[in-house]
Amino acid sequence: MSSHIALVVEDDDNSFEETELVLRSLGLHARRVTNRADAIAEIEKRGFCILLVDLHIKPDKNSLSGLVTAGKEVIRFARTRYPASKSAALGQLPIVAVSGHIDDHGMSRELLFSGVDDVVEKSLDRDELPSRIRECLKKSGREFHDACVQMEREFAFPGTRRLALLGERDPERTRRVLVALDGERFSLI
| pTM strictly above 0.95 | no
- Higher pLDDT pick, 27 / 68: 27
Range 98-124 average pLDDT: 78
pLDDT at 83: 78
pLDDT in tens, 129-167: 899 999 999 888 888 888 787 777 666 554 444 444 343
Residue 71 to residue 178: CA distance in whole angstroms: 31
Identity of the residue numbered 183:
G
With beta carbons less than 8 A apart as the criterion, state whether 97 and 113 touch: no
pLDDT in tens, 112-125: 778 888 888 877 66
Question: What value, to the nearest 5°, has the Cα angle with vertex 89 and ends 141 and 144?
Answer: 25
- Higher pLDDT pick, 75 / 92: 75
With beta carbons less than 8 A apart as the criterion, state whether 6 and 50 touch: yes
Residue 157 to residue 155: CA distance in whole angstroms: 6
Find, among 44, 3, 18, 48, the residue nearest to 145 by Cα: 3
108 contacts: CB under 8 Å, gap ≥ 6:
102, 119
- B/e letters for 127-142, b = 16+ CB within 10 Å, e = fewer, are eebeebbeebbeebbb
pLDDT in tens, 81-96: 887 665 544 457 899 9
Find, among 131, 125, 122, 123, the residue nearest to 57 by Cα: 122
